[in-house]
Amino acid sequence: MPIDFYSKLVNASGVYTFRDFVLLPGRSDIEPSKVDISTNLTKSVRLNLPLVSSPMDTVTEAEMAIALARQGGIGVIHRNMPIEEQVENAKRVKRAESFIIRDVVTITPSDRVSDAMELMQKKSISGLPVVGTDERLTGILTRRDVNFANPNESIIDVMTKEVVCAGPEVTIEEAKRLMHKQKIEKLPVIDQNKKLLGLITIKDVYSRERFPFAARDTQGRLLVGAAISPHDVDRAKALEKYVDVLVSDVAHFHNVNVLSSSKKLVKEIATDFIAGNIGTIEATKDTIDALDGRVDGIRAGVGSGSICVTSEVTKAGAPTLFAVSQIAVALQEAKMSLPIIADGGIRAAGDGALALAAGASAVMMGNVFAGCTESPGGLIKIGGKYYKPYRGMGSSGSRQRRFAMDRYNQPAKGIAEGVEGVVPYRGDVQTVVEEFSGGLRASFGYAGAISIRDLWVKAKFGAITAAGIDELRPHSIILPGEEKI
Ligand code: XMP
């Protein structure tokens, strides 16, 4: 059978990127402030904001994940570190806030004051429930109790014995009311036999009020994801107890070895699993088939990342906007409803709106979040301006840390697939997210859509030319800082 080389070339389908389209303004009665941008990251994980930070070593560790979850999104902890360190990062996010702390640090009545002081300092906590060998709560010890006590005294002699407690069904409002009334900062939660079930702190109660849109699990803890290689079952198993979602971190998921490893992996874990990255209809079908329904979301886009040289080097790529629409089409054909996460190349809210309009449920960003205070790495001053480091996980710098090697540096590849540099410092996550979500809401307002699902239905795309791109941004004006003498 002769190969039709000519047709392959001239009948190639169009592959489009964010810069090829605009969202056409539609009939609208939507106030941007009324738009609901909450979304599903996976079949079961719900976010209040469709933003995800990339698992990259200059983007997401615990600090970024905490800050983003407080705004309603989620961070995916990178895997360019030993398993224990990645687990510790996830635990830090889970410990950052919770309505009822379940793994309470306690002390026994026969311990000494010096033991309590040491424990408080080591764990950075200011109060310890006192629990006897029968697991029943017998008192509470706060800094006030130990401050002027003799270090050799027994806890039983200095603790507060009359403890104000709450039952397991207590609501946040009841807890707050009780703590205000009794002027206490810690409220132990007990069952009818006085067995300690947990602890509520005033700090966590206030934090819930400060961040009302935070993305939380059923226990009130912040949501967090972690990146894994589908080949690394040990890492996945170590992480699954502490994260809400495991995210495949593979440049080319549509690879038979990766698919078969993923098939084995999903049988071993109970946590939600996001597959990716992929970018074609065929890859979506093969992913669904291989995982036999055990996939909860798909990461879309190959080669669009701002630090990628994959496509430049290999000429292989499925730009994010194209990838999203391919996956959306394939899922619809398969009558499956799975969240798509648009990953790579999103520079501003408008790109995010286009990705959502094309069928995505959330957008993942590296570059934008790398410029935030909460990303790893310090500020760099260049010519009077501030920057932060940013690098691809396939860059030589990242690859020198061996844990990312399997994504971009298989011996067979042996080429750098990412670059490293700096990005402008943008301020803290809250500021960046507010600006981004304001832009998204405005786009929804123009499109006449009240929610992401509504945008999928109502959005109309306009294909744009290079001349159009030039016209649709500030032109014929000299902006401050661009003056040439
Ligand atoms: P942005 O555009 O937000 O993209 O910077 C972030 C996404 O890029 C992917 N990524 C890479 N892709 N070589 C690549 O080809 C790399 O070294 C690399 N590092 C990250 C990844 O999907 C990320 O979320």
CATH of residue 393's domain is 3.20.20.70
Known catalytic residue: 308? yes
pLDDT at position 413, please?
Answer: 57
The domain tally of the chain equals: 2
What is the distance between the alpha carbons of residues 227 and 248, in angstroms, rounded to a whole number? 6
Centre a 10 Å sphere on the Cβ of residue 350 and count the other Cβ atoms it contains. 17
pLDDT per residue as tens digits for the range 44-90: 999 999 999 999 999 999 999 999 999 999 999 999 999 999 999 99
Alpha carbon of 106 to ligand 1 centroid (Å) = 44
Q: Are residues 92 and 205 in the same domain?
A: no
Q: Are residues 322 and 443 in the same domain?
A: yes
Q: Are residues 366 and 309 in the same domain?
A: yes
pLDDT per residue as tens digits for the range 84-107: 999 999 999 998 888 888 889 999
Q: Are residues 319 and 183 in the same domain?
A: no
Minimum mean pLDDT among 124-128, 297-301, 317-321: which range?
124-128
Last residue of a domain, one of 159, 194, 210: 210
Q: Are residues 259 and 402 in the same domain?
A: yes
Q: Tokens standing for 256?
A: 């038979």
Last residue of a domain, one of 176, 194, 210: 210
Q: Tell me, yes or no, whether 406 lies in a domain.
A: yes
Per the listing, tokens 């226990």 go with 219
Q: Are residues 298 and 441 in the same domain?
A: yes
Q: Of all helices (H) and strands (E), which one includes residue 228?
A: strand 225-228
Q: Tell me, yes or no, whether 39 lies in a domain.
A: yes
Last residue of a domain, one of 161, 177, 210: 210
Q: Is 302 in the pocket of ligand 1 (CB under 6 A)?
A: no
Alpha carbon of 467 to ligand 1 centroid (Å) = 28
Say how many residues make up the chain: 485
- On the question of pLDDT at 307 being above 60, the answer is yes
322, 16 in Cβ contact below 8 A?
yes
* Ligand 1 atom with minimal separation from the 364 CA: 24
What is the distance between the alpha carbons of residues 281 and 301, in angstroms, rounded to a whole number? 12
Given 308, 372, 426, 441, which residue is catalytic?
308
Mean pLDDT of 138-155: 89
What is the distance between the alpha carbons of residues 243 and 263, in angstroms, rounded to a whole number? 20
Q: Are residues 243 and 315 in the same domain?
A: yes
Domain span including residue 93: 5-97+235-472
Q: Tell me, yes or no, whether 256 lies in a domain.
A: yes
Cis peptide before 277 (omega within 30 of 0): yes
Q: Tell me, yes or no, whether 80 lies in a domain.
A: yes
* First-residue to last-residue Cα distance in the chain: 65
Q: Are residues 90 and 191 in the same domain?
A: no
Q: Tell me, yes or no, whether 27 lies in a domain.
A: yes
Mean pLDDT of 345-352: 97
Collapsing DSSP states into helix, strand and coil, what is residue 133?
Answer: coil
Minimum mean pLDDT among 27-41, 68-82, 205-219, 346-360: which range?
205-219
Considering only CA atoms, which of 155, 49, 168 is closest in space to residue 112? 155
Q: Is 53 in the pocket of ligand 1 (CB under 6 A)?
A: no
Q: Is 408 in the pocket of ligand 1 (CB under 6 A)?
A: yes
Q: Tell me, yes or no, whether 220 lies in a domain.
A: no
Q: Are residues 167 and 273 in the same domain?
A: no
Determine if residue 340 is left, alpha or beta; phi over 0 gives left, psi from -120 to 50 gives alpha, anything else beta: beta
CATH of residue 181's domain is 3.10.580.10
- Mean pLDDT, all residues of the chain: 92
Q: Are residues 287 and 354 in the same domain?
A: yes
Given 299, 391, 407, 426, which residue is catalytic?
407
- Residues with Cβ within 8 Å of 425's Cβ and at least 6 positions away in sequence, in order, are 371, 373, 379, 385, 386, 387, 388
Q: Are residues 314 and 429 in the same domain?
A: yes
Known catalytic residue: 407? yes
- On the question of pLDDT at 407 being above 60, the answer is no
Q: Tell me, yes or no, whether 386 lies in a domain.
A: yes
The residue nearest atom 9 of ligand 1, judged by CA position, is: 305
Alpha carbon of 308 to ligand 1 centroid (Å) = 6
What is the distance between the alpha carbons of residues 299 and 333, in angstroms, rounded to a whole number? 18
Q: Tell me, yes or no, whether 391 lies in a domain.
A: yes
Q: Are residues 137 and 55 in the same domain?
A: no
418, 309 in Cβ contact below 8 A?
yes
